[in-house]
Amino acid sequence: MKKLTRIGGVTAIVAALALTACGGGGKTSGPESGKGQGAGGDLAKLISVNAKDAKDLQPGGTVTLPLGTLGPDFNTFSTNGNTGDNAALHGPINQAGCWSYDFDGTATPDKNFCEDVKSEVKDGKQTITIKVNDKATYNDGTPIDVKTFENTWQMLRGDNKDIDIVTSGAYAFVDSVKAGANDKEVIVTTTQPVYPLESLFGGFVHPKVNTPEIFNNGFTNNMHPEWMAGPFKLDQYDSAAKTVTLVPNEKWWGTKPVLDKVVFRQLEISAAIAAFKNSEIDAVSANSVTPYKQLEGTPNSEVRRGQRLFAGGLSLNAQKAPLTDVAIRKAIFTAVDREALRKVRFNGLNWDEVLPGSMMLMPFSKYYQDNYPVKETGPEAAKKVLTDAGYQPNAAGIMEKDGVPAKFSVSNFGDDPTILAFTQTLQKQLQAAGMDVGIDQRALADFGKTMGSRDYFLSVSGYGVGPDATDTVKQFYDSTNENKLGDPELDAEIKRLSSIADNAERNKAAMEVEKKHMAKYFSLGPLTNGPQISFVRTGLANFGPSLFKSASQVPDWTTIGWEKK
């Protein structure tokens, strides 16, 4: 869970404008000019954390940060808990997993848990040997050993359809998990080679979370801190005040944290802006012009700017009529003027980027390719898509087929005016193509629940982006995905690519699957990536845009803290 765009190998869903991706002075000209990087670009330009050694920081202190959503499902592995906010909340308190990530996405074993990970492939079968840290233990005293690894596999492998996982990922290829010389040596065998190795055991499922009922429902309004392990522990969860308070974990065997308290507060965007200006919280995102202008000039603050690891815009629920018809979904992709939407989204931010063409990789990735499936766009082209599928305009001018109109809504979350303007522009583009489209306005706090229960038609949202597309291609494009859109041919390609050892070849294969799936099913449509612009309290160290090291902007929870005065 170190790389918080992912939850144990799963890509987390994120609202269009998230709080957690969370000097000012008298500057009034808007943000300094920024630009997304392409392949071979300088990634250092996309990182801004005020890096300091822990020894140079003031011991103790409190940091208070906002979250857009807080629960109700605190299981980061479940469909309802699969949100960036939930992953961010777990960052300081549940780090149990085998892998840490550098800013550029390079994965290495997290020695607090997995001291060594070795892989051997022989006769087409793979054996992975993991040396678990002898000190690694959950807060309830349960040792992190072979039983943890076995239970993680059993709960996430996908065989039991009653377990509400997001995707089985590489766990579907695991054949056995057994003890080696002792319970702290774990021997994993696979039915086919699995690459990259970090596809497995990025997060652990506690051995007591071993039934569908506990997995699906046991974390509702209950964080279960006893089943966690990290440098901080839960001190108080106040559901009425919508706050979570954390303190250092005396049972943590790793590096002790600098801070003596971390507080998370659930806030709508407008409330977070007010809270920062009133010195109630210590950082807030300003990824659109409205919050930026409202926060500009806030005393005792500075701006840190980088790249948001986000791909999103169109998330279509293909299980809800009329979006069950692929012609409607293709018409949506065709009607969209992405350049016009980009201008609305980034107006006033001095941000420039290429139009993204992948949900799985950022344009600066050397593996990236533009997979957007429609070249000829606009209202007339979209109407032709519908006409060719048998739709005709009714008396009101709405395209319909067999008496069923192309009628649905776009769900917009939160109270940011720029995101609403983006949604309204999208609405008008779809209406111009003969579709009857309304706006379903919801609170940001309802985002996780809405997306987990799939209570929407079209959502303006997206997913965090990782450095490798291998896991993501299965989550998004295998026929077991949340839309149940796919086919045996693509499933076979996805299964095969997971066994390709060469990173470039494997990611190229993943990109080709995305290209084919987008062109056939039209379920996820990238519109923007965007900047990460954070207003941060002056003196806060080791916090800010961190690329793959942390989507919640905390590269290391043991070193975040305040500069000495």
Tokens of 69: 């959503």
Pairing of strands 531-537, 283-285: antiparallel
Q: What is the amino acid identity at position 433? A: A
Only one residue has tokens 């070849």, namely 505
d(CA 396, CA 215): 48
Helices (H) and strands (E) in the chain, counts: 13, 30
Q: At what angle do helices 338-346 and 417-432 cross, to 10 degrees?
A: 160
Q: What is the pLDDT of residue 354?
A: 86
Residue among 264, 313, 308 at smallest CA distance from 285? 308
Tokens of 538: 């002056």
Q: What is the pLDDT of residue 20?
A: 45
Q: Nearest-5° angle of CA 410, CA 449, CA 245?
A: 130
Q: If you write DSSP's letter for every residue of 20-36 in order, what string do you get?
A: -----TT--S-SPPEE-
Q: What is the pLDDT of residue 506?
A: 96
Residue among 204, 257, 281 at smallest CA distance from 9? 204
Distance of CA 482 to the CA centre of its chain: 15
Buried b / exposed e along 405-443 (16+ C-beta atoms within 10 A): bbbbbbbbbbbbebbbbbbebbbebbbbbbbbbeebebe
- The one-digit pLDDT tens for each residue of the chain (565 residues) are 233 344 555 666 667 655 443 333 333 334 565 666 666 667 888 899 999 999 999 999 999 999 999 989 999 999 889 888 999 999 999 999 999 999 999 999 999 999 999 999 988 889 999 999 999 999 999 999 999 999 999 999 999 999 999 888 899 999 999 999 999 999 999 999 999 999 999 999 999 999 999 999 999 999 999 999 999 999 999 999 999 999 999 999 999 999 999 999 999 889 999 999 999 999 999 988 889 999 999 999 999 999 988 898 899 999 999 999 999 999 999 999 999 999 998 888 888 888 899 999 999 999 999 999 999 999 999 999 999 999 999 999 999 999 999 999 999 998 888 889 999 999 999 999 999 999 999 998 898 889 888 999 999 888 889 899 998 998 899 998 888 999 999 999 999 999 999 999 999 999 999 999 999 999 999 999 989 999 999 999 999 999 999 888 999 999 999 999 8
Q: What is the amino acid identity at position 250? A: E
Q: What is the pLDDT of residue 487?
A: 96
What are the pLDDT digits (tens) for 74-109?
Answer: 999 998 898 889 999 999 999 999 999 999 999 999
Q: What is the pLDDT of residue 402?
A: 94
Q: Which residues pair with 565 in a beta bridge?
A: none
Tell me the C-alpha to C-alpha distance, in Å, between residue 389 and each of 285, 401, 404.
43, 9, 13
Q: What is the pLDDT of residue 30?
A: 45
Q: What is the pLDDT of residue 181?
A: 97
CB 242 within 8 A of CB 265: yes
CB 228 within 8 A of CB 30: no
Q: If you write DSSP's letter for every residue of 450-501 in order, what string do you get?
A: HHHHT--SEESEEEE--S--HHHHHHHHSTTSTT----HHHHHHHHHHTT--
Rounded to two decimals, the pTM is 0.86
Tokens of 564: 């000495």
Bond preceding residue 488 cis, omega within 30 of 0: no
d(CA 349, CA 342): 11
What are the pLDDT digits (tens) for 247-268?
Answer: 999 999 999 999 999 999 999 8
Q: What is the pLDDT of residue 471?
A: 83
